[in-house]
Amino acid sequence: MHMPGAAPSRGVAYAEGRYMPLEEATIAMLDRGFVRSDATYDVVHVWKGRFFRLEDHLDRFERSVAGLRMTLPLPREEIAAILHGCVRRAGLADAYVQMALTRGVPPPGTRDPKLCQNRFTAFAQPFVWIANEAQRREGLSLVVTKTQRIPPEAVDPRIKNFHWLDLTMGIFEAQDRGADVPLLPDRDGNLTEGPGFNVFALHGRTLVTPDRGMFEGMTRRSVIELAPELQLAVEERALHASELARAEEIFLTSTAGGIMPVSRLDGAPVGEGRPGPVTRAMHDLYWRRHEEGWLATPVDYEGG
Ligand SMILES: Cc1ncc(COP(=O)(O)O)c(C=O)c1O
């Protein structure tokens, strides 16, 4: 959905102190963010003209930046203003909004990350859905991959990062097995996450979600907070692949799409092979709260 009167836009980016069409934005080839995946980022969404959990996303971004021993070149209020600025200039009512900090370019002749000037970039583009319309209606097919997620002892998954080669190879593995999306286990067979989403399994009235080896998604947090309203308990703990296989319902969570049902796991139906009532109820509650303005910040479309 676009703002009335605004030209449809593929997105607007901010880099090096100015705004530009997203398709024209580039990263310096020697930036360690590009050549070493030495970067962190966060993604917040805008729905019907309002950011969702903007302050929580900014908090998480600041924690990630500190975790990588980087420094933001701008104060938090200016970062928020730039995010508003990208959405405003893109004329979007529903948007996927990224902020990123790359390590920057080391001075010639060195490789010392401390000597780099960290670079802030941002963009807003039309809202992104991990699952297409049919998948959201019928449910996704999911496979637990042989590819393991990089261990948290190596790369802290709570710092949102671009270390996606395991997730990307997982996507190929899922496609080779005729499925839509992969879910990566750790080396003990406990589940972690997939490319851009967390996972929940329903057993009775209890939702179980992994508590280690994965990014602590904002949508995951929203589900944990909303669960009591649906008389659901939540357990954050190790979730083994064999336990997922016995789940009555499974759903995935992401800023890029919200609550997404899974109807097949490793080729077999989940429950009755279609989105279950608890998944539907959580989906509806999540989007109803958006309509009601829960944790919402109106986009500053006027500027100033
Ligand atoms: C690896 C990974 N896991 C989980 C998520 C879900 O997090 P959120 O709900 O904050 O979008 C993401 C977000 O894009 C992600 O990249």
Burial call 55-94: b when 16+ CB within 10 Å, e when fewer: eebbebbeebbeebebebeeeeeebbbbbbbbbbbbbbbb
Of 105, 128, 151, the one marking the end of a domain is 128
Going from the Cα of 217 to the center of ligand 1, the distance in angstroms, rounded, reads 5
Ligand 1 pocket, 193 CB below 6 A? yes
Instruction: For residues 251 and 159, state if they share a domain.
Output: yes
Mapped onto helix, strand or coil, the DSSP state of residue 210 is coil
- Domain holding 182, by residue range, is 133-291
Q: What is the pLDDT of residues 201-225, one digit of tens each?
A: 999 999 999 999 999 999 999 999 9
Query: Which of 63, 186, 215, 282 has the most ligand 1 atoms within 8 A of CB, as the residue to mutate?
Result: 215
Q: Is the CB of 38 under 6 A from ligand 1?
A: no
7 confidence band (pLDDT: 50, 70, 90): low
Using the 3D structure, point to which of 93, 128, 163 is the last residue of a domain. Answer: 128
> Do 77 and 137 have their domain in common?
no
- Considering the domain architecture, whether residues 177 and 33 belong to the same structural domain is answered as no
The verdict on 78 and 154 lying in the same domain is no
Taking the CB of residue 128, how many other CB atoms lie within 10 A of it? 16
* Mean pLDDT rounded to a whole number for the chain: 96
CA nearest ligand 1 atom 15, residue: 196
297 located within any domain: no
C-alpha span between 97 and 255 (Å, rounded): 10
Q: Which residues contact 117 (CB under 8 A, 6 or more apart)?
A: 73, 104, 105
Taking the C-alpha atoms of residue 160 and residue 221, their distance in angstroms, rounded to an integer, is 15
Sequence-ordered list of residues with C-beta below 8 angstroms from that of 68, at least 6 positions apart, any chain: 38, 40, 101, 103, 159
Q: Is residue 1 assigned to a domain?
A: no
Closest ligand 1 atom to Cα of 220? 9
Residue 33 is assigned to a structural domain of this protein: yes
255 lines ligand 1 (CB under 6 A): yes
In this structure, the answer to whether residues 111 and 139 fall within a common structural domain is no
Q: Is the pLDDT of residue 31 over 90?
A: yes
Whether 116 and 143 share a structural domain: no
Same domain, 286 and 139: yes
CATH at 64: 3.30.470.10
Q: How far apart are CA 217 and CA 93, in angstroms?
A: 23
pLDDT at position 303: 87
Q: Are residues 239 and 259 in the same domain?
A: yes
Q: Does some domain include residue 298?
A: no
Render pLDDT for 276-288 as a digit per residue (tens, 0 to 9): 999 999 999 999 9
CATH code for the domain in which residue 211 is found:
3.20.10.10
Pocket test for ligand 1, best of 57, 61, 254, 286 (most atoms within 8 A of CB): 254
Do 119 and 146 fall into the same domain? Answer: no
Instruction: Name which residue sits closest to atom 1 of ligand 1, judged by CA.
Output: 196
Q: What percent of the chain has pLDDT over 70?
A: 97
Query: Above 70 in pLDDT, residue 8?
Result: no
Expressed in angstroms and rounded, the spacing between residue 245 Cα and the centre of ligand 1 is 22
Q: Is residue 253 part of a domain?
A: yes
